Structure 1
Amino acid sequence: MARAAGDLMYLLSVTVHVLSAVTAFGAVFALPVMRRGAADVPTAVQTELALVRRVVTPAMTGSLLTGLYQVATGPFGFGQVWVTATLALLFGQFAIAGSGVTRDAKRALAAFSEGRIEEAHAAWFRLTGWWVIIGFLAVLAVGFMVAKPAFGD
């Protein structure tokens, strides 16, 4: 009975892990559509800031916590390259979302509100770059999780 409960918890954690990843990464890849639909650039930036705070970061946190649970209780461990690489990519995404995206979104909003349009557009351009990098890291992470490359393990 204890084994079955442990298996069920592991499978539930995999489900939450995948749903968290789909939520976080889906939001990132939906950004171009949301940007086009925004009334103006400040509205787009406000939406992106809310998205990173309310959707992307909580979903990435869910993915991190469930992934750690799976490493602790499942058949895969930190000794496998794909596990460590995926974790490093996720921490890179956290760093970019927490510093680059948030910083440049706030800078863009402040510059727009103060009429410094050129500075605002420069911050928005950097913000676009951060999102592209997060998306690229997401694709790499998914590739590692799906392929589970050994690299000599």
Structure 2
Amino acid sequence: MTEHAPANVNGLEWAARRGLGALADKMGMRFTEFTVDRAVATMPVEGNTQPVGLMHGGAYVVLGESLGSMSANLYAGPGRLAVGVDINATHTRSATSGLVTAVCTPVHLGRSLTVHEIVVTDDQGRRCSTIRITNMIKDVESATSPAPTA
């Protein structure tokens, strides 16, 4: 049986120790809630826009992938690594100022696959983007071992 994150793990502390990565830092992401069942992050619109001043669709996807992948890795637990294998997004509104907030919830938490949905809203609570990410969970050893030679 796969060992998943213990219920008493403080997800925010775990994420802070692991780090969010250079891209998340550049984009101004801030995790505000982080458990296996729900993760929340904010990101400023400013600095993450298209030339016409609208939030860049790719910025929504980076936010969603960051939350979904980190959530899958928290769920995977020690000795396991979650890696993204599929992501899709539907953008329904463009934020133009303030912060966007992303809420990530699991759709499926399995032995070898996780699926998360991330809903991104603007400061008025209006949905801007819906992202779905699938992560494959691997043993760390198999994820980092060289391929066998013949």
Larger % of strand: which? Answer: 2
TM-score by length of 2: 0.30
> Normalising by the residue count of structure 1, what TM-score does the alignment of the two structures yield?
0.30
Higher helix share: 1
Say which structure, 1 or 2, has more relative contact order (CA 8 Å, 6+ apart): 1
